[in-house]
């Protein structure tokens, strides 16, 4: 009986363990344009991806993303906390690789830029003021779930938190800022795959239980 219970617990725990892994990435630098119509970026450098790290002064590629229009709240905040949410409709989130590190990742060296992840945000995207610094410096975060396709052809989910540094006047008057140290995690297993795996293991546990009872 104890053996059956252990197998059942493993069946339930395995999907959670698998979801805890995945591909981590970090990015920094580049510009941001933000207004009630949405947020978009240019030139954010990919610093790490799936355990690979760029050499000092270099990057592994670029990260670009955009959101839909602001659907609640406002672009600027008077105090630390959630300012509003952007729509995911029409959004994008793409990670492009370049450089010799791609040979280690892919097993061959592609010419030019190579799409590592092509996707978009899903669900509302949270826009929040996280800190008020000296001399009118402010820091915002853009947080949301992403969904898209890896270079392997597999569709995956993930999360990202992007840090936006700016000045109060620059944000309110010009709607511009720069990207601070940001990143996210792309979870490689798909929910359906993990659900089938967990169900299969529970089924195996049931078969073993019947055999043990029968013996």
Reported as a single tens digit per residue, the pLDDT across 165-212 is 999 999 999 999 999 999 999 998 654 544 444 454 445 445 445 554
What is the rounded CA–CA span in Å between residue 190 and residue 153? Answer: 12
Reported as a single tens digit per residue, the pLDDT across 88-100 is 999 999 999 988 8
Burial pattern 132-151, b for ≥16 Cβ within 10 A else e, equals: eeeeeebbbbbbbbbbbebb
Res. 108 pLDDT band, cuts 50 70 90: confident
Domain parsing of the chain, residue ranges? 23-190
Strands (E), the chain: 23-28, 31-35, 38-42, 44-49, 52-53, 61-66, 70-73, 81-86, 92-97, 114-132, 137-150, 155-167, 176-179, 182-187
Q: Give the pair of three-digit tokens for residue 142.
A: 């853009």
pTM: 0.79
């Amino acid at each position: 009986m104890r053996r059956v219970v252990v197998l059942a617990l493993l069946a339930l725990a395995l999907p959670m363990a698998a979801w805890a892994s995945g591909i981590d990435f970090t990015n920094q630098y580049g510009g941001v344009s933000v207004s009630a119509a949405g947020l978009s970026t240019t030139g954010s450098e990919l610093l790490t991806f799936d355990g690979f790290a760029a050499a000092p002064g270099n990057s592994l590629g670029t990260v670009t993303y955009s959101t839909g229009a602001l659907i609640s709240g406002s672009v600027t905040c008077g105090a630390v906390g959630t300012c509003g949410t952007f729509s995911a409709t029409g959004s994008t989130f793409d990670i492009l690789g370049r450089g010799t590190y791609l040979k280690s990742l892919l097993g061959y060296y592609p010419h030019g830029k190579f799409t590592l992840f092509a996707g978009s945000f899903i669900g509302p995207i949270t826009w929040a003021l996280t800190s008020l610094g000296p001399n009118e410096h402010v820091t915002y975060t853009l947080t949301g779930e992403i969904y898209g396709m890896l270079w392997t052809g597999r569709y995956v989910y993930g999360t990202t938190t992007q840090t936006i540094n700016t000045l109060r006047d620059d944000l309110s008057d010009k709607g511009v800022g720069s990207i601070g140290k940001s990143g996210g995690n792309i979870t490689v297993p798909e929910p359906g795959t993990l659900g089938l795996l967990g169900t299969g293991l529970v089924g195996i546990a049931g078969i073993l239980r019947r055999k043990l009872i029968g013996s």
